[in-house]
Amino acid sequence: MSMLVVDSIEVFYGEFQALFGVNLEVAEGETVAIIGANGAGKTTLLRTIAGVLCPRSGQVLYRGMRIDGHPAYAVTRLGIAMVPEGRKIFPSLSVRENLLIGRQSGRKGPWNIERVFDLFPVLRERADFPGIDLSGGQQQMLAIGRALMSNPDLILMDEISLGLAPVVVRELYETVQEITRAGTTVVIVEQDVTRSLQVADRVYCLLEGEVSLSGRPVDLSREQISLAYFGV
Amino acid sequence: MIKARVVESAAGWKQLSVIWFTALGVLIIGALIGLPVWGGPGAMRMMVEFLTLLTLAQLWNLLAGYTGLVSIGQQAWIGIGGYALIVVADDFGLPIPFGLVLAGVAAALLALPAAALLFRLRGGYFSVGTWVVAEILRLLVTNSTDWLRGGLGRTLAATSAMARETRELLTYALTVVIGLGVIALVHLLMRSRTGLALTAIRDSETAAANLGIETQRAKLFVYLLCAFGTGLVGALIYLNLLRITPDAAFSVQWTAFMIFIVIIGGIGTIEGPIIGTILFFVLRQFLSDFGEWSLILLGAVAVLMMLFAPEGIWGIVRRRWQFEIFPVHRRIGASSDDSHAA
Amino acid sequence: MDWASTIVQGLLLGGFYALYGIGLSLIFGVMRLVNLAHGDLIVCAAYLSLVLIDVSGLPPLLTLMIVIPGMFGLGVVLQRGVLNRVLGSGPMPPLLITFGISIIIQNGLLLMFTADTQRLPAGSLETASVPLGGWVTVGVLPILNMAIAILAIIGLQQFMGRTDLGRAFRATSDDPTTAELMGIDSKQIYGLAMGASLALIAVAGILLGMRTTFGPSDGPARLIYAFEAVIIGGLGSLWGTFAGGLLLGVAQSIGAAINPGWFQLAGHILALLVLAIRPTGLFARTRDL
């Protein structure tokens, strides 16, 4: 049984429809990438899974249980954590405090603040600085660390490479691979197609609110992906 | 993929609404002109109260419902208007119409420095600030024991020379003309491009500013206009009541009435306050002593409406029957409305 | 005018205003909401105590044991039952709803207790005073109030800075959506914040009732004093609000010494001056809560 099943969801912003019957499956331990152009609906999809948005029809199932319509904090407490687009570091909190917030889900597990500091040593150095005083790449590490602190079984990462230099992105993705090696299931939304194909076990491509392509990177050709990404 | 169309809600009703509107207008004006004849002094008095309250509500609606400036201190201008009338008419001996206009002007003049300070505040703090302004004026008047007789208040003497019927008729006529005039002005403003700009400011001031709308000027304009209008109506109120005291004139109860009328009737619409005022008067007939119970009831209904029916009674009517007497709303139609050419 | 005595009395009076302001500031900091019924709830607390004293014969300070949790619960219910429903819909609905509640409370109190002014019988505490430095005597009650205000601020700061729940408050205040993504139930946080505000109001109300007479329509003035304490001191800073309250008290005290009718006006004028010259307040910080 898949860990996460998204079944024909339709999501609206007011009268504007963003997702038109999207289907998605993630198996335990997998790394799944969602790619697509701006406005394709990638972030909408992630936010619907996380519980920030509620689908007008369709369902989201986590370990066989329906979670669509549950509030975001309940979804987090079930084991799905999100690294939101734009990092969304809490400005009033220090680095350490931002990480401690991650504990609010109340879940037990291997991740604690020391282990996160081991993963991202620069955070230990800056532990008592305000969270927003960090560079973009460091903030991204903080956001990932914060998500890890809730000991999730599934992490959703929304555009973690956005606005960052390639060398920083490479470091980040090395960390992501450490996380996946530890057994955590990861769903990433990425603009950087090459990076996604390197890192993912399977890939979904969204185009204007629908899944235009899915499969394993090794099975998909460049032309297929271009077509699915840009449409015709 | 978005097919959107801005549909002036009068579109499709345009012909019908013009006839309808004119007929209604003629009917109302006819009834109002005839009232002194078939109603008598009691009915005239009630209509004066009705119209002044309605006008106050429409003005608050423009200020808060349309522009987003939630003032809980409109009583400031009612008090200023009332006292200004008495000072101009009694102390300076000018005719009543002068007194009325100068009452409005006085309010607007005081509103200017008030706005300069108040616009530095946002949201709830702005609201409390408007209340503080009213309190300051109340205290200043209460402390002016020589000129304004302080807490004891004053009585309008300028009309005491007239026969009672004449005075009542004069008050009535002035109220009808001014009241309807202000309401018409408010309606026209809401329908104009300025009105659209005001709703933009209400919805998001930063976005509106980014679009090039001069938000500060627009807000100031509306604030001063409403102060003027409220001052004018305040003068009318005390032309009718004759006796003014600072505690009564600057009482927050005026604002409470305005707010409850607008909320219950329907915020942001012209018809809403009309319905609200009617309900208000009906309620007053039932709860004859009109003391605490009526205010509790009004307050409770207002709170419940804000929770469960924030568009008010008229909003519910409008939604269910797609019907408007005074169309001021612009609707975004989905692609199915393509049949209505804009 | 005896300057020393006037200023000292003003500072002590200001301690009350500081306590009013802290409750208002807390709610605004966490939820960007101004509770227009704030002052009326202070008066309400005094009346609650009055009823309890009538029924149980307890001294006023002991009624705090019942009134504080009672009003805390009321705050949670008010927030979760009423205000949480409209928190996303812009600044107007909460303002209008709390305004409606204010009117309801004032008239409800008027109905239940008539317009007669009341006083909480504080016995010897009412008049107990302590000489300070030889030229001035200060009442024990205002000193107690000042101490409570200071303790409240320290307590809030410790809570916000060091506890998990306090951090959750700050995170929710920063960004409620992201806080929810971290497993924080923002509705619960708002409920607790309102409860805390009402608990502070409970203390303020009972101390008020012990110090002076009160009546059903005294709420609005308390709201205005709370507001002015925040304006003068600066938004976003608890100690700023504390200082603002003290300055307000001093201004009022000096005004009253010049002319009794100038008591409130002096405070209003100070608030307006600060607004005109330093709109962010005298001690503003960008974020404290």
In degrees, to the nearest 5, what angle opens at C-alpha A210 toward C-alphas A204 and A211? 25
> Final residue of a domain: which of B211, B226, B250?
B250
Contact B332 A15 (CB under 8 A): yes
Q: Residue B327 has what pLDDT?
A: 59
Give domain status of residue B2, yes or no.
Answer: no
Instruction: Specify the pLDDT at position C87.
Output: 87
Distance from CA of A12 to the nearest CA of B (A): 12
Contact partners of A by the rule of 3+ C-beta pairs under 8 A?
Answer: B, C
Q: Residue B164: what pLDDT?
A: 82
> Phi-psi bin for C119: left (phi > 0), alpha (psi -120 to 50), beta?
beta
User: Nearest CA of chain A to the CA of B332: how many Å?
Assistant: 10
**Is residue C287 a part of any domain in this protein?**
no
CA distance A183 to chain B (A): 40
Instruction: Compute the distance between CA of residue C78 and CA of residue C95 in angstroms, rounded to an integer.
Output: 14
| C57/C51 Cα distance (integer angstroms) | 9
**Can you tell me the ipTM of this complex?**
0.91
Residues B53, B169, single domain; the answer is yes
Quote the number of domains for chain C.
1
Structural domain contains residue C179: yes
- Helix B292-308 vs helix B271-286: crossing angle, to nearest 10: 140
Phi and psi at residue A15, to the nearest 5°: -95, -5
From the CA of A208, how many Å to the nearest CA of chain B? Answer: 9
Q: What stretch of H or E contains C249?
A: helix C238-258
For residue C31, give every residue at least 6 positions away whose Cβ sits within 8 Å of its Cβ, in sequence order, or none. Answer: C87, C173, C190, C193
Is the CB of A16 less than 8 angstroms away from the CB of B2? yes
- Tell me the per-residue pLDDT of C144-201, one tens digit each, with 9 for 90 and over: 899 999 999 999 999 999 999 999 999 999 999 999 999 999 999 999 999 999 999 9
- How many beta-carbon pairs below 8 A join chains A and C? 70
Q: Is C81 part of the contact surface with chain B (CB cutoff 8 Å)?
A: no
Q: CA–CA separation, A105 vs A94, rounded Å?
A: 19
Among B121, B114, B117, B129, smallest CA distance to B71 is for B129
Q: Which of B298, B174, B183, B308 is nearest to B236 (CA)?
A: B174
Which chain B residue is nearest to residue C265, measuring alpha carbons? Answer: B136
Residue B66 counted as domain residue:
yes
Minimal C-alpha gap between A198 and chain B (Å): 33
Q: How far is B123 from chain A (nearest CA, A)?
A: 22
Report residue C1 as tokens.
Answer: 């005018």
Classify residue C289: in a domain, yes or no. Answer: no
- C167, C171, C181 ranked by CB distance to A82: nearest: C181
Domain stop point among B208, B231, B250: B250
Cα–Cα distance for residue pair B51/C100, rounded to 1 Å: 23
**Chain C residues 169-188 with a CB less than 8 Å from chain A:** 170-171, 173-175, 177-186
Domain A4-230, CATH class in plain words: alpha beta
**Is the same domain home to B265 and B203?**
no
Nearest to B58 by CA among B196, B219, B316, B232: B232
Please give the residue range of the domain that contains residue B302: 257-327
Does the CB of C238 have a partner CB in chain A at under 8 Å?
no
User: Who among C33, C100, C104 is closest to B124 (CB)?
Assistant: C33
Same domain, residue pair B189 and B315: no
The interface residues of chain A toward chain B in range 151-210, judged by CB-CB distance below 8 A, are: 208
Please report the residues numbered 202 through 231 in chain A whose beta carbons come closer than 8 angstroms to any beta carbon of chain B: 208
Q: How many residues does chain A have?
A: 232
- CB–CB contact C228 B132 (8 Å): yes
Tell whether B130 is covered by a domain: yes
For residues C43 and C21, what is the distance between their CA atoms, to the nearest angstrom?
15
CA distance C69 to chain A (A): 25
Nearest-Cα distance to chain B for A16, in Å, is: 7
Chain B partners of A17 at a C-beta cutoff of 8 Å?
1
State the Cα–Cα distance between residues A30 and B56, nearest whole angstrom: 65
Mean pLDDT over the full length of chain C: 90
List of chain B residues whose C-beta atoms are within 8 Å of the C-beta of residue C36: 72, 124, 127-128
Establish if A13 touches chain B: CB-CB under 8 angstroms. Answer: no
Name the percent of chain A lying above pLDDT 90. 74
Rounded distance between C-alpha atoms, residue B72 and residue B255, angstroms: 6
Q: How far apart are CA B113 and CA B101, in angstroms?
A: 20
Q: At residue C72, what is the residue type?
A: F
C-chain residue closest to A51, CA distance = C181
CB contact under 8 A, C275 and B295: no
> Is residue B341 one of the residues assigned to a domain?
no
Torsion of CA B114, B119, B120, B124, to 10 degrees: 100
Boundary residue ending a domain (B213, B228, B250): B250
Which chain A residues are Cβ-neighbours of B2 within 8 angstroms?
16
Q: Which residues of chain B have pLDDT under 70?
A: 1-17, 288-290, 322-342
Q: Do B64 and C92 touch (CB under 8 A)?
A: yes
Angstrom CA distances, A122 to A113, A125, A142, B24, stand at: 13, 5, 10, 74
B306 and C86: CB-CB below 8 Å?
yes
User: Could you identify the residue written with the tokens 């139609």?
Assistant: B333
Which domain range does residue C22 map to? 3-126+134-277
Chain B residues near residue A15 by CB distance under 8 angstroms:
332, 334
Query: Does C285 map to a domain?
Result: no
Chain C residue with CA closest to A145: the answer is: C182
Total domains in chain B come to 2
With CA atoms as reference, the chain C residue closest to A91 would be: C174
Q: Tell me, letter by letter, the H, E, C secondary structure of chain A.
A: CCCEEEEEEEEEECCEEEEEEEEEEECCCCEEEEEECCCCCHHHHHHHHHCCCCCCEEEEEECCEECCCCCHHHHHHHCEEEECCCCCCCCCCEHHHHHHHHHHHCCCCCCCHHHHHHHCHHHHHCCCCEHHHCCHHHHHHHHHHHHHCCCCCEEEEECCCCCCCHHHHHHHHHHHHHHHHCCCEEEEEECCHHHHHHHCCEEEEEECCEEEEEECHHHCCHHHHHHHHHCC
Strand partners, A4: A26, A62
Provide the CB-side half-sphere exposure for B213 (13 A, CA). 23
Give chain A's residues under pLDDT 70. Answer: 1, 232
Beta-bridged to residue A34, according to DSSP, are: A189, A204
Residue B176 lies inside a defined structural domain of this protein = yes
Q: CB–CB of A40/A208 below 8 Å?
A: yes
Kindly state whether residue B116 falls inside one of the protein's structural domains.
yes
CB contact under 8 A, B1 and A15: no
Residues 6+ apart with CB under 8 A from B49: B240, B281
In angstroms, the separation between the Cα of residue B6 and the nearest Cα of chain A is 14
Same domain? B92 vs B57: yes
Closest among B232, B81, B61, B89 to B157, alpha carbons compared: B89
Report the Cα B219 to chain-centroid distance in Å. 16
Task: Please judge whether A72 and C180 are an interchain contact, meaning their C-beta atoms are less than 8 angstroms apart.
Answer: yes
Asked if residue C284 is part of any domain, the answer here is no
**Domain shared by B56 and B195, yes or no:** yes
8 Å CB contact of B334 and A15: yes
Beta bridge partners of residue A192, listed in sequence order: none
Contact C177 A72 (CB under 8 A): yes
Asked if A16 has any chain B CB less than 8 Å from its own CB, the reply is yes
For residue C86 the two structure tokens come to: 């409209």
User: What pLDDT does residue A38 have?
Assistant: 85
C-alpha angle A193-A194-A196 in degrees, rounded to nearest 5:
65
In a domain? residue C286? no
- Rounded to a whole number, what is the distance in Å from the CA of A128 to chain C's nearest CA? 12
Cβ separation of B131 and C220 shorter than 8 Å?
yes
* List of chain C residues whose C-beta atoms are within 8 Å of the C-beta of residue B300: 100, 104
Full DSSP string of B142-194: HH-TTTS-GGG-EE--TTTTS-HHHHHHHHHHHHHHHHHHHHHHHHHHHHSHH
Tell me: the pLDDT tens digits for A150-205? 999 999 999 999 889 989 999 999 999 999 988 899 999 988 888 889 999 999 99
Any domain includes B233: yes
B332 interfaces chain A, CB cutoff of 8 Å: yes
Q: Is C34 on the interface with B (CB under 8 A)?
A: yes
CATH number, domain with residue C65: 1.10.3470
Phi, psi at C137, each rounded to 5°: -110, 140
Q: Do C181 and A72 touch (CB under 8 A)?
A: yes
Domain limits, chain A: 4-230
Q: What is the pLDDT of residues C12-69, one digit of tens each?
A: 999 999 999 999 999 998 998 999 999 999 999 999 999 999 998 888 888 999 999 9
